[in-house]
Homo-oligomer: A and B are copies of this chain.
Amino acid sequence: MRTKEGNKEQAIFDAAVEVFAERGYHNAKISTIADRAGIATGSVYLYFNNKESIILTIFDRLWERVLAGISVTVARTDLDPQQKLNSIIDTVFDFFISNPALATVFVNEQHHLIKDGRGNVAEQYDRFLDIAEKVLHDGVKNGLFSKNVDVSLFRHFVTGGLRNMLRQWASNPTAIPLDRVRQTLKYVIIHGILRT
């Protein structure tokens, strides 16, 4: 039989991330993804049930890794909430540094999937937000963070801001030093814009 050369599923996955990033989910053709992966169109369906399951798999793995990463951090007892917040930001940044196209797909397509309740995207995103909210709550409780901030709204503010800065960076990864993005983000979350 013809044996699997390399990992075709991964090739399709990678090609799909690229094509979804370039054209958007709705304008991406399966045939283009197959071409990019170096296989025949029909072979895509040996590894994925349909077009949607490809993007759902992308988000599934994305959140799986991010959640795994931050779960370790938030469980640590030797870090205060501010350090945990910094660590969460680092995890997300590090993840997307390794794949700008994935960052693009993430910022562009997630809300469609959540809006229509497809797959586990909404659930995983909620888990992420809940973890972040817990860190914020802890910070408020121990007096580190201000009581004037509604943490359940703040988490949306931060993720939205984070996403938009990532989009900016992903649209042209070489133009903006990612560390500058990261430092700006950490600073403004903690101190806001006012001079201290």
Contacts and interface: CB of A to CB of B under 8 A. Distances in A.
Interface residues of A, number: 50
A156 B144 contact: no
A146 B194 CA distance: 5
Interface stretch (A6-14, A59-67, A157-165): A157-165
Given A157-B164, A160-B161, A144 B195 contact: yes
A76 interface: no
A185 B26 CA distance: 33
A72 interface: no
A82 B192 CA distance: 12
B190 A194 contact: yes
Interface string A181-193: 1001101111111
Contacts of A115: 24, 108
Interface in A5-61: 24, 26, 42
B188 A191 contact: no
Interface string A131-162: 00000100100011111111001101111111
A144 B194 contact: yes
A139 B180 contact: no
Nearest to A25: B26
A15 to B, nearest CB: 19
Contacts of A192: 187-194
A167 B160 CA distance: 10
Contacts of A196: 146
B194 A150 contact: no
Contacts of A108: 111-112, 115
A26 B51 CA distance: 15
A79 interface: no
Contacts of A71: none
